[in-house]
Amino acid sequence: AERTYQSAVERTPGLEAIARYAVFQSKTGRADQAKETLAEIEKRVRKATTHFRGEARRWRDFAAKEID
């Protein structure tokens, strides 16, 4: 599953893939990596255009809820 998530993160626009990857990391005992991935999501949310920011925040919130 690891390779599949990594591939999806690299190839899929938006934040859904990376948010789901962060949750996967958390649920497979890699909380530190999940938090690093969440930090990357945060950076991407801050850089997002106004049009995209709402959707980006929803994926960030999804990941944060599942990680904490």
Q: Is the predicted pLDDT of residue 6 greater than 80, yes or no?
A: yes
Alpha-carbon span 22 to 37, nearest angstrom: 6
pLDDT of 15? 96
Task: Read off the pLDDT of each residue in 8-27 and give the average, rounded to a whole number.
Answer: 95
State the virtual CA torsion across 51, 52, 58, 61 in degrees, nearest 10.
-110
Separation of alpha carbons 13 and 2, rounded Å: 18
Query: What's the pTM value of the predicted model, to 2 decimals?
Result: 0.91
Confidence band for 68, pLDDT divided at 50, 70 and 90: confident
Nearest to 62 by CA among 34, 32, 29: 34
